[in-house]
Amino acid sequence: MTAAPAFIQVDVDGLWAVRRCYGRPVGGSFQDDPVWTDGIPEFRQLFSTVGIGASFFLVGRDLFHPAKRLEARRLVESGHEVANHSWSHRIGLTRFPLGRLQDEIGRTHDAFVRSGLPEPVGFRSPGYDIDARMIRVLTQSGYRYDASVVPTRLAPVLRIADAWLARRWDPEKRQFGRFAYGGAPRHPYVPNRWSLREAARTPGDEAGLVEIPVTTLPPLRFPLTASAVFAFGPAAVIEKLETLRGQPVLLLLHGIDLVDCSEPVVFDTRRPAAGGFNLPLVTKRDCLRAVVEYVAGNWKVVRARDWVESAY
């Protein structure tokens, strides 16, 4: 039996984007961004040690920064996929009119081309905020997959946890998708263009865009992110992953997950360890390496773009 596919993906939210997400002052973090100078090279090193190809989701405006552009090219040269993570990284894109959605995807796409990067075929919406309009824009733009759906009913709980971490409730901050997406399939599927539900495919249907959902861990359906690894520990996450053997999985990481946070980077005051916001690099690296190695040993790690090409 061939091993099921595993997608290991990194959202490259610069420090400026993370700070803005939590309502913190951005300061000089667009220019001087440890996510790009420290976090991404750390990920390249980790993935090269384990011998896998990953997918990195880049924010368009970061490509205007010459050193970030260079690092993005290095990712491609190292055998990784680069994909589209919107232009502005505004959390709550589904609030915007259609033209703005087209702009968020199109401007980033153009920035990839101008930066000498391969044209992206995959997208993840900031904050996993996706709707059927965006799926249609992606399909019309020739994209092959979206990876924004998190099939969990925990979205409202996760939003409250996020607001607690930020010490601020922002009703405009649409995060973690809709409660209804808790009923979405947990395996890759072709979404209906009007609802994000699985489309009834009839033989001969032209393959459209594929939704590759972020894996959620049984029994509560907590998203399989570094936050889960840092909060529950690698051994507990591996134990849960054991129950998913033979099924496709998507492990979602973020650039800041391999940035040293022994000194506060996002928040001025110390917060509990949620999201690894006050963990030293060595701890984070050991935790993530254990999980990445386990996945690489028990699944076939593939770049989503290659898998979509071969499977659909």
Summarize as ranges the residues that interact with Zn ion (CB under 5 A). Answer: 11, 13, 126
Nearest to 170 by CA among 222, 129, 223: 129
Of the pair 72, 244, the CB lying nearest Zn ion is at 72
Of the pair 13, 257, the CB lying nearest Zn ion is at 13
Say if CB 134 and CB 94 are below 8 A apart.
Answer: yes
Of the pair 146, 244, the CB lying nearest Zn ion is at 146
Of the pair 39, 244, the CB lying nearest Zn ion is at 39
Shortest Å, Cβ 48 to Zn ion: 23
Shortest Å, Cβ 178 to Zn ion: 18
User: CA 67 to CA 14: how far, in whole Å?
Assistant: 13
Shortest Å, Cβ 138 to Zn ion: 16
Shortest Å, Cβ 162 to Zn ion: 13
User: CA 237 to CA 157: how far, in whole Å?
Assistant: 20
Q: Which residue is nearest to Zn ion (CB)?
A: 13
Shortest Å, Cβ 124 to Zn ion: 7
Shortest Å, Cβ 85 to Zn ion: 6
Of the pair 39, 126, the CB lying nearest Zn ion is at 126
Shortest Å, Cβ 127 to Zn ion: 7
Of the pair 126, 151, the CB lying nearest Zn ion is at 126
Of the pair 126, 191, the CB lying nearest Zn ion is at 126
